[in-house]
């Protein structure tokens, strides 16, 4: 089966599953709500991060979306049916990745614009800072969803993927950051969120930080693709 019909089939799966639509909606709601609270108390030393602080919590919903979109294939023999219709496993996984990335990117852009609209009045951001925040928000959320999708392909379990990633994002990354600030800057969440800081400190800048996160996501997707090709459905 050609790539476009496979992608269309994967998109139908995503838009018809309430759990996935709910995760996408949570990205917008959670990020916007927490950003509205922190923007009202804007930190003058880093006003951009004050406006986009909610992304640090909204990313959890993006991770849930990426993990469930892939791990759902391993419940009830769904993957066997999928591969019967699309036997090329690499093509199927590529279609799944695109079907995960595009809606998160769209919701991420909407989230970034809504967050900026709520917080820019009190934070006094420049046009360039606001644009970087919106684009950085969308790209970061997309990369974190893809990181989760790749890990779900390796672990073949949504529970396992979320049990690994969510504690890492909410607890481990902060602990490691306090103990080893230099190395912690290259963790996927810390590196990617540099795009949401007014003046990032350290060797990485806003876009190089996102590039580091992209490398993490690419490695996870590569491992996921390898597991999909090598393991039984």
**Which stretches within the chain are classed as H helix?**
3-16, 18-39, 47-51, 55-71, 78-85, 89-123, 127-155, 158-167, 173-179, 181-184, 188-192, 206-230
Mean pLDDT, range 195-207, rounded to an integer: 87
Task: For residue 129, give Cα distances in angstroms to 49, 137, 195, 202.
Answer: 10, 12, 10, 19
Query: Cα(111)–Cα(33) distance, rounded to whole angstroms?
Result: 11
Q: How far apart are CA 93 and CA 56, in angstroms?
A: 28
Q: With CA atoms as reference, report the closest residue to 161 among 171, 169, 170, 151.
A: 151
64-120 residue pLDDT tens: 999 999 999 988 788 888 888 888 899 999 999 999 999 999 999 999 999 998 877
> How much is the pLDDT for 28?
95
Mean pLDDT calculated for residue range 204-216: 95
Better pLDDT: 223 or 32 = 223
Has this prediction a pTM greater than 0.85? yes
pLDDT of residue 174 exceeding 90:
no
């Amino acid at each position: 089966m050609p790539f476009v019909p496979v992608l269309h089939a994967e998109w139908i799966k995503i838009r018809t599953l309430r759990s996935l639509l709910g995760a996408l909606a949570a990205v917008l709601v959670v990020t916007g709500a927490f950003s509205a609270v922190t923007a009202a108390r804007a930190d003058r030393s880093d006003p951009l991060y004050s406006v986009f602080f909610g992304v640090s919590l909204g990313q959890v919903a993006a991770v849930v979306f990426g993990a469930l979109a892939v791990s759902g294939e391993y419940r009830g023999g769904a993957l066997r049916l999928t591969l019967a219709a699309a036997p090329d496993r690499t093509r199927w996984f590529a279609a799944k990745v695109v079907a995960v990335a595009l809606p998160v990117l769209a919701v991420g852009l909407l989230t970034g614009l809504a967050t900026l609209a709520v917080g820019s009045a009190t934070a006094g951001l420049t046009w360039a800072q606001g644009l970087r925040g919106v684009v950085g928000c969308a790209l970061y959320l997309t990369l974190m969803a893809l990181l989760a999708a790749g890990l779900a392909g390796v672990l073949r379990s949504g529970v396992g993927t979320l049990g690994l990633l969510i504690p890492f994002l909410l607890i481990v990354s902060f602990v490691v950051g306090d103990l080893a600030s230099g190395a912690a800057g290259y963790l996927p969440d810390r590196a990617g969120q540099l795009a949401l800081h007014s003046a990032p400190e350290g060797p990485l800048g806003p876009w190089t930080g996102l590039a580091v996160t992209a490398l993490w996501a690419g490695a996870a997707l590569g491992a996921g693709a390898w597991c999909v090709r090598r393991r039984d459905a």
